[in-house]
Amino acid sequence: MNEVRTHNSEDNCWTVLRGKVYDITSFLKYHPGGLPKIMLGAGKDMTALYDKYHAWVNPEPLLANFCLGTVANESSLEKMLHQQQQQRRLERLQQKAQQILHSLQQEQQKPSSTATEE
């Protein structure tokens, strides 16, 4: 929701309805109730407000083209970010291990400088 809250203007307007995030910027001027009413849900979860005025209307087909995705709760977002950080760390460790292995293989392929002469 933190990201949604930053999109709260007429030029950049996101809202949440029933757990889905919508970029309704291009829809604002077409809202039958007018701009002031729809802006009450700008940058917020407007489910209660929507249901107050439009409980009988299924918003899914009307807003399908505006859907950006679903809202992640903060703890699952933090978990996802932690997993991504761990994955990047693992990838760096794997790259380092490959570099070390490659160096060891090159060392083994070099002719031995301690060969005895006859």
Give me the long-range contacts of 74-81 (CB less than 8 A, separation at least 24).
Answer: 74/1, 74/2
Query: pLDDT digit string (tens) for 3-57?
Result: 889 999 999 999 999 989 999 999 999 998 899 999 999 999 999 999 998 889 8
Asked if residue 87 and residue 63 are part of one domain, the reply reads no
Domain assignment of residue 82, given as a range: 73-107
Asked if residue 6 and residue 55 are part of one domain, the reply reads yes
Number of domains in the chain: 2
pLDDT at residue 23, rounded to an integer? 94
Asked if residue 63 and residue 20 are part of one domain, the reply reads yes
H or E element in which residue 14 lies? strand 12-17
Asked if residue 94 and residue 45 are part of one domain, the reply reads no
| Report field, pTM of the whole predicted structure over 0.85 | no
Asked if residue 25 and residue 83 are part of one domain, the reply reads no
Mean pLDDT of 75-95: 75
SS3 of residue 23 by DSSP = strand
pLDDT at residue 111, rounded to an integer? 77
Phi, psi of 21 (to 5 degrees): -95, 130
